Amino acid sequence: MQKFEAGASIDGFELVERLQSGGMATLWRARNPKFDFPLLLKIPFLDPGGDVSVILGFEAEELILKRLSGPHVPRFAASGSLAKVPYIAMEFVAGVGLAELTNGAPQPPDEVARIGAEIAKALAALHRQKVVHLDLKPENIILAERGAVLLDFGLARHAELPDLLGEESSVPMGTAAYMSPEQVLGERSDPASDIFALGCILYQLATGEEPFGRPATFAGMKRRLYHAPKPPRDIDKAIPRWLEAVIVRCMEVDRSRRYGEAAHVLSDLRNPDQVVVARKSTPSNEWGWGAIRNLFRRTDEKSLVGKAANSAARAGPPIVLAAVDLASGSDALAGEVRNETARVLAARQDSWLACVTVLKTEIVGTTPDVDESGRLVYLQRLVALKDWARPLHLPEDRISYHVLEAVSPADAILNYAEHNDVGHIVVGARSSSAIRRHLGSVSTKVVARALCSVSVVRLKAVEEESRLRP
């Protein structure tokens, strides 16, 4: 095997400094004038006659990393031929390794939620690019200034590429402490597996304990199908119920109960008041009596983990934002926005609705809820919003309500949509008026600047006119 030293050059990359490396590859800081970002070279250990999984992992990472983009992955620079010197050159990402924070766990709940939201956002971006990481763990996450950055795609799976790694091996692949139950059973295609791993990380950050330890045997790993870890609040009562509810829902064995979308986890972590905690600490059978019942029931293990919701992702947006103007009560336009919202939601069973209405404030910095009358206006609007949504008959875990206070309704809607990874916005447009033509309407601005699809709902001109006539 070739030895590398600082100062050596590979395909124009000068090795600068060797970094702490894992068992599969050596990592080097590197320089190359062709690239205007800091570089890292990953050189796999390829012993003749060595473990073939090293080669397969290298192959998978090279295939997947070069197809990924965005702030939540290191930029791909170049790769070296397996026939000569195999390497992957990528961006060196500066930041805090999540492992440092899990080592310092438990962390305060607010911090857990903040970190969790960053990771969820990175996962949502990854899953949108049709990739499942399948080895999410603190060592593979860097908290950088630009957000969470995910590393090491050696076990990852791209939905449109052959799974050469998975087809070669029947043993579960991943890290025992964070591996989802369906991965333990050999499944390698469901984004929900990464959400399970995120749940394990949040559990560890919140409690300071690893939920499943680090089992070394297959039987040990399979325990997680039958035995739920201690609910987080059994370890520390200071953990808020809502945070426990989010963690537990990430870690559901049955995927029909688990979050199906990282964007939904993100939204719950950012909006604690919207998390459904009615189920307390035993939200499903697996977390309590169910576990005992399972001991006496011979079940097909595959049926425990439920079905992957893969096809759902193509059917429609996971999170729909309905922006409804209730300043003058629930009018015909608000009703039409609701009808359109219902149609968008109908595209998929597990979609989820964020109802947003904006309470306009006159001056920046003045919040109406500081005084008693302001608080009252806020509550009235929230009641009106809930009343508006009632005919949709959505269960409470598919809907959330947000009264945003802002000078610019369009900015508030756009800001909310971006921060919560909304997939589709439904917004109403009033008929044209002199003032609106002068200032530009909310819907126009939303359409122009939204990062997702937008449906603009307008009443047919005749109806609007007749409605306005006294």
Partner 1 sequence: MRIAILSDIHANREAFDAVLGVVRKQAPDQLVLLGDLVGYGPDPVYVVEKAADLVEGGAFCIKGNHDEAAALGRTDMTENARVAIEWTRERLAREHFDFLAQLPLSLRSEDRLYVHASAERQEKWLYIRDVDAAERCLSASDARFIFCGHTHIPAIYYALSGRRPVHFRPLDNVAAPLSELRRHLVVVGAVGQPRDGNPSACFALLDTERREVTMVRVPYDHEETARKIQASGLPGWLGMRLKIGR
Chain residues that interact with partner 1, rule: CB under 8 A: 52, 55, 59, 63, 81-83, 160-162, 164, 167-168
DSSP class per residue in 219-236: HHHHHHHH-PPPPHHHH-
Per the listing, tokens 């996971």 go with 318
- Residue 159 or 392 with smaller CB distance to partner 1: 159
- Residue 12 or 162 with smaller CB distance to partner 1: 162
- CB distance 256 to 410 below 8 Å: no
Distances from the Cα of 322 to the Cα of 86, 345, 435, angstroms: 50, 10, 24
User: What is the pairing mode between strands 9-10 and 76-80?
Assistant: unpaired
- Residue 69 or 349 with smaller CB distance to partner 1: 69
CA 157/CA 155 separation, integer angstroms: 7
DSSP class per residue in 385-418: HHHHHGGG---GGGEEEEEEEES-HHHHHHHHHH
- Residue 161 or 406 with smaller CB distance to partner 1: 161
Q: How far is the CB of 423 from partner 1 (least distance, A)?
A: 22
Single-letter code of the amino acid located at 229: P
Q: How far is the CB of 68 from partner 1 (least distance, A)?
A: 14
Number of DSSP helices (H) and strands (E) in the chain, helices first: 19, 16
- Residue 57 or 116 with smaller CB distance to partner 1: 57
SS3 55: helix
* Enclosing H/E stretch for 4: none
Q: What share of the chain is helix, strand, coil (3-state, %, to 5)?
A: 40, 15, 40
- Residue 83 or 363 with smaller CB distance to partner 1: 83
Tokens of 427: 């917004």
449, 455, 460, 461 alpha-carbon torsion, rounded to 10°:
0
